[in-house]
């Protein structure tokens, strides 16, 4: 039986990729939902919405939506149905697992577990690590990868200021645990260890030295999990090349609808632990005991941690997005995105009042001297004389531009980056601060494969105009948000 319904073959194909030597400025963005949506402006009229908040949720690719729509009439239960639609849906679900494994270049024995999101994936991993496992995590992580380990023995590492500092910081922390570096050995008598690291910062967009951090972890007998939520939509992720033990990402960052995610990697800890959720699908056999209790034989496959009826459409949408990005060609996608990054950074650099936030250096380029990208399309900044919430509200209400403001679910990192940049706590939209603390927040603009040049060009013009002329409208605070006054 084909894993894909015949009707799905009519799904719209991804837009033809640019040739490898094409000018990225001329390459077309991938078609996404919402690209023609218009929104009203407080100053009058309407404008096509510029969605520049990809780091929070990227719009779904049109290809993904068409694939899901073609499958929808064939929707059926998964794994336990004898009917044609159930069997077809099961094949679709399991072949999506194969597609994701290929997208991530997994090892032959790796498992791909479908979850709800990156947050869910990392909480799953936190639930299955050995009881005596020590976890090392940088304070710069998104809360999804910073917080799940609180019940473990966790060491929080200070924010590094260069990629080399990140490697050295991890080396020192692991050396204190194990003073005799050696090749990786999961049966280490001093106990297991796990390193958690992001691939690309959701605040600064800077790429982390994942391969080098993985080598450091393995040299000290530790394992490593990669939070690829911000990396996978922008760059190819190879589990084998990076030599990470697990990788986690979310569908809604990867141009798929909400509610689906992935944890992929080594099977042993997953197989040895109790299921993340107890219920149907995770169990292979259940029997009553003579004493009135229940004996359970759990699956040893990925199903062990996928109890309940799975999100078939969410899983299929991830697989569709993986195929679309692969077919478009990451070389083309990266080249075009770097063209947009350079355009935004150059525009912001012309505004003296704008300070772009950077962990590895304010002057860090978009590309290394060798031409390798050093960041993805995520840029955070503050504007002198403006509260960031007020600025973001004006971008939306007066220019139809959607960005994000705040601390971006990475509070320790943003507070570190903004430590010397006080903001007026009395201004519109300023977040409430604890007694004795300054109110801190920033603006984040983010974009990707579906972003047209016009959106980032409008954004740069709007920033310059707001700084030069101020807002055209009055704003007030409502439920902690800055909104246009009526």
Q: Which residues are the active-site residues?
A: 409
Distance (Å, whole) CA 108 – CA 239: 11
What single-letter DSSP state applies at residue 250? E
| Residue whose C-alpha is closest to residue 381's, from 426, 349, 410 | 349
What contacts 24+ positions apart, CB below 8 Å, involve 22-26? 22/332, 24/332, 24/335, 24/336, 24/338, 24/339, 25/339, 25/453
What is d(CA 227, CA 235) in angstroms, rounded to the nearest whole number? 13
Other C-beta atoms closer than 10 Å to the C-beta of 87 total 16
> Is-contact 309 78, C-beta < 8 A?
yes
Tokens found for residue 102: 């290929």
Q: Which of 301, 307, 300 is nearest to 278 (CA)?
A: 307
Q: Provide DSSP, 252-276.
A: GGTTS-SS-EEEEE-SHHHHHSPPS
Residues 6+ apart with CB under 8 A from 417: 203, 204, 357, 358, 359, 380, 442
Is residue 77 helix, strand or coil?
coil
The C-alpha atoms of residue 89 and residue 87 are separated, in whole angstroms, by: 5
């Amino acid at each position: 039986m084909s894993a894909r319904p015949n009707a799905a073959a009519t799904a719209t194909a991804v837009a033809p990729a640019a040739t490898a030597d094409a000018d990225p400025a001329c390459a077309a963005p991938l078609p996404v939902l919402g690209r023609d949506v218009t929104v009203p402006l407080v100053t009058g009229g309407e404008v096509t919405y510029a969605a520049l908040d990809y780091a929070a949720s990227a719009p779904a690719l049109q290809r993904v939506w068409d694939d899901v729509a073609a499958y929808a009439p064939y929707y059926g239960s998964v794994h336990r149905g004898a009917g044609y639609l159930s069997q077809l849906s099961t094949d679709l679900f399991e072949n999506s697992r194969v597609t994701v494994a290929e997208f991530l270049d997994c090892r032959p024995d790796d498992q791909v577990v479908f979850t709800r999101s990156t947050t869910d994936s990392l909480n799953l991993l936190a639930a299955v690590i050995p009881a005596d496992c020590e976890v090392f995590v940088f304070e710069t992580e998104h809360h999804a990868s910073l917080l799940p380990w609180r019940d473990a023995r966790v060491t929080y590492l200070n924010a590094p200021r260069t990629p080399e500092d990140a490697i050295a910081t991890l080396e020192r922390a692991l050396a204190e645990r194990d003073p005799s570096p050696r090749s990786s050995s999961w049966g280490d008598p001093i106990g297991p260890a796990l390193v958690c690291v992001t691939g690309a910062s959701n605040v600064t967009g800077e790429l982390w030295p994942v391969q080098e951090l993985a080598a450091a972890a393995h040299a000290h007998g530790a394992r490593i999990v990669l939070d690829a939520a911000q990396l996978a939509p922008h760059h190819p992720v190879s589990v084998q090349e990076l030599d990470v033990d697990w990788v986690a990402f979310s569908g809604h960052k990867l141009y798929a609808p909400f509610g689906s995610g992935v944890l992929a990697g080594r099977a042993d800890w997953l197989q040895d632990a109790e299921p993340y959720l107890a219920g149907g699908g995770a169990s292979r056999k259940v029997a009553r005991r003579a004493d009135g209790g229940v004996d359970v034989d759990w699956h040893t496959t990925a199903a062990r941690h996928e109890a309940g009826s799975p999100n078939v459409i969410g899983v299929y949408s991830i697989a569709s997005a993986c195929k679309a990005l692969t077919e478009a060609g990451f070389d083309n996608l990266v080249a075009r995105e770097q063209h947009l990054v350079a355009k935004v950074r150059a525009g912001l650099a012309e505004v003296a009042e704008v300070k772009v936030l950077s962990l590895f250096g304010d002057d860090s380029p978009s590309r290394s001297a060798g031409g390798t990208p050093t960041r993805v399309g995520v840029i955070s900044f503050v504007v002198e004389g403006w509260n960031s919430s007020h600025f973001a509200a004006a971008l939306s209400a007066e220019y139809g531009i959607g960005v994000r403001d705040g601390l971006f679910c990475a509070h320790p990192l943003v507070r570190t980056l903004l430590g010397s940049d006080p903001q007026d706590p009395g201004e519109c939209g300023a977040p409430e601060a604890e007694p004795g603390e300054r109110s801190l927040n920033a603006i984040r603009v983010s974009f990707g494969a579906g972003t047209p040049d016009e959106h980032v060009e409008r954004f740069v013009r709007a920033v310059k105009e707001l700084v030069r002329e101020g807002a055209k409208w009055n704003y007030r605070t409502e439920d902690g948000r800055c909104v246009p006054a009526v």
